[in-house]
């Protein structure tokens, strides 16, 4: 009976990390969560009175030596739980020789909850200026608001659930305007966790729409790349044929106007000249003296150093409308005109 009476459930805890997974640090400001987890663990193992004094009239003072030893053992166990779940900086700050678990607990509370009025001002300003645009997702945004509300509660400035929901809606971005309007127009306002669930579902829908839009953009981009790589299309074929036709016209005009070696119109002019002068061909070095000037759509004829003159193209007004032809020389000689001798 004596062995069973001295056994305590707190002594069966081999690793406190299995019950309190949070490490209390000065930077992350998770004192509220850490303290709540610690109190739950202490209550479940019947050692809550070692960190929080019981109400008046319920104090239990050890009366026997065995009870005094058990109390000292349990207090050391709770103190080791505290030291094992805080950072090294906090450990070096609060540790003292022969300290009790309640003394260590109160030192931590004073570190995170001293100067309540100053902390209320700072936390209120941060709570009011928290916006969704400063966080990667809705979950992190809601978690930060809830943490600030808990800290305000610990410094005797509790935040009501309705105010928490209003601040949640006021800090939303433009993309969540629709669901924000739905939440604030509800009467009464939905609880904080329900509003958080609505925003999370809206975030999932927006992510799905963004993924669908990106896939459509990729398909359109791949189609443009396929056309640029040389795939046949009606517009590209017509443009190609028009460009080819215009290029042939330019090459034909260039070849007809030149007197050098060429093909097409150049060869036709040379063959006509050779037939008119009995098979003689024009030397390749002779070129048209007037360059590439044209009458209408017909090129200027080539002049020959042997006196041959081909058929002239029909000139525009005020020039004669009939072509100029070679006339045989009469035996009577040349007649004098106003502008000199004429053929």
* pLDDT of 278 above 50: no
pLDDT at 14: 87
pLDDT digits (tens, 9 = 90+) for 196-248: 999 999 999 888 888 887 666 666 666 555 555 555 544 544 545 555 555 55
Percent of the chain with pLDDT over 70: 59
Q: What is the pTM of this model?
A: 0.54
Q: Return contacts of 250-254, CB within 8 angstroms, 24+ apart.
A: 253/292, 253/294, 253/299, 254/292
pLDDT digits (tens, 9 = 90+) for 153-180: 888 899 999 999 999 999 999 999 999 9
pLDDT digits (tens, 9 = 90+) for 16-40: 999 998 899 987 678 888 999 999 9
* pLDDT of 98 above 60: yes
Percent of the chain with pLDDT over 90: 39
Which of 122-131, 163-172, 197-206, 311-320 comes out lowest in average pLDDT?
A: 311-320
**What is the Cα–Cα distance from 100 to 106, expressed in whole angstroms?**
10
Average pLDDT of the chain? Answer: 74
* pLDDT of 303 above 90: no
Is 218 strand, coil or helix? helix
pLDDT digits (tens, 9 = 90+) for 55-82: 776 677 677 888 888 899 999 999 999 9
The beta strands (E) that lie in the chain are given as 294-295, 298-299, 336-337, 340-341
279 φψ region: left (φ > 0), alpha (ψ -120 to 50), beta (else)? left
Secondary structure element (H or E) that encloses residue 2, with its range:
helix 2-6
| 14 neighbors 2 (Cβ within 8 angstroms) | no
């Amino acid at each position: 009976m004596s062995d069973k009476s001295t056994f305590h459930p707190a002594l069966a805890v081999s690793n406190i990390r299995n019950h309190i997974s949070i490490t209390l640090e000065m930077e992350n400001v998770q004192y509220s969560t850490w303290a709540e987890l610690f109190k739950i663990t202490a209550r479940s193992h019947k050692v809550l009175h070692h960190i929080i004094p019981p109400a008046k009239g319920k104090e239990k003072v050890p009366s026997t030596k065995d009870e005094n030893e058990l109390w000292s053992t349990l207090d050391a166990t709770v103190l080791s739980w505290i030291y094992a779940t805080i950072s090294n900086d906090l450990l070096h700050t609060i540790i003292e020789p022969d300290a009790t678990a309640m003394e260590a607990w109160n030192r931590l509370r004073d570190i995170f909850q001293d100067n309540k009025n100053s902390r209320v001002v700072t936390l209120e300003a941060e709570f009011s200026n928290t916006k969704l645009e400063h966080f990667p997702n809705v979950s992190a945004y809601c978690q930060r608001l809830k943490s600030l509300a808990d800290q305000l509660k610990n410094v005797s400035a509790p935040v009501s659930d309705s105010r928490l929901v209003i601040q949640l809606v006021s800090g939303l971005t433009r993309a969540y305007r629709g669901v924000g309007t739905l939440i604030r127009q509800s009467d009464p306002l939905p609880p904080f966790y329900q509003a958080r669930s609505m925003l999370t579902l809206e975030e999932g829908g927006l992510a799905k729409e963004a993924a669908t839009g990106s896939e459509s953009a990729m398909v359109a981009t791949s189609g443009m790349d396929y056309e640029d790589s040389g795939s046949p299309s009606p517009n590209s074929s017509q443009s190609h044929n028009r460009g080819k036709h215009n290029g042939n016209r330019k090459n034909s005009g260039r070849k007809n106007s030149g007197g050098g070696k060429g093909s097409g119109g150049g060869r036709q002019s040379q063959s006509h000249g050779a037939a008119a002068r009995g098979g003689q061909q024009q030397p390749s070095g002779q070129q048209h003296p007037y360059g590439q000037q044209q009458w209408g759509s017909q090129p200027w004829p080539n002049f020959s150093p042997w006196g041959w003159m081909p058929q002239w193209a029909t000139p525009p007004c005020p020039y004669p409308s009939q072509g100029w032809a070679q006339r045989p020389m009469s035996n009577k000689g040349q007649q004098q005109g106003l502008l000199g001798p004429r053929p």
